[in-house]
Amino acid sequence: DIQMTQSPSLLSASVGDRVTINCKASQNINKYLNWYQQKLGEAPKLLIYNTNNLQTGIPSRFSGSGSGTDYTLTISSLQPEDFGTYFCFQHNSWPNTFGAGTKLELK
């Protein structure tokens, strides 16, 4: 199975900050990398698919980049509604696998 290693596991930031979350795959996943946001008690929501494509309705302050094994989610200016947990996910190979998550909290 492809292992997805996310960092950091916990991120404290303030409204207006620029934040980045990293995800490293144990092998090349050919840009088949998604990012999801999950708020407490809610289902995950797709933010970005295939590395850098914004899902419909997601604000442009979210962006993604990367290739090969290394990927990044960037939030350009943090908003109050952005706090929650973020997961990366690879769908290049079976079984599809998730990162362990990054909890983004208010500093």
Partner 1 sequence: EVQLVESGGGLVQPGRSLKLSCAASGFTFSNYGMAWVCQAPTKGLEWVASISTGGGNTYYRDSVKGRFTISRDNAKNTLYLQMDSLRSEDTATYYCARHGQLGFDYWGQGVMVTVSS
Residues lying near partner 1 in the complex (CB under 8 A)? 32, 34, 36, 42-46, 49-50, 53, 55, 87, 89, 91, 94-101
- Minimum CB separation from partner 1 for residue 21, in Å? 14
Q: Are 104 and 85 in contact (CB under 8 A)?
A: yes
Question: Which two structure tokens, joined as six digits, stand for 30?
Answer: 């050919």
List the structure tokens of 33. Answer: 């990398």
Q: CA 79, CA 30: separation in Å to the nearest integer?
A: 31
Task: Find the shortest distance in angstroms from Cβ 41 to partner 1.
Answer: 9
3 in Cβ contact with 93 (< 8 Å): no
Q: Using the minimum distance from each CB to partner 1, give the nearer residue, 38 or 74.
A: 38
Task: Specify the residue, 10 or 15, whose C-beta has the smaller distance to partner 1.
Answer: 10
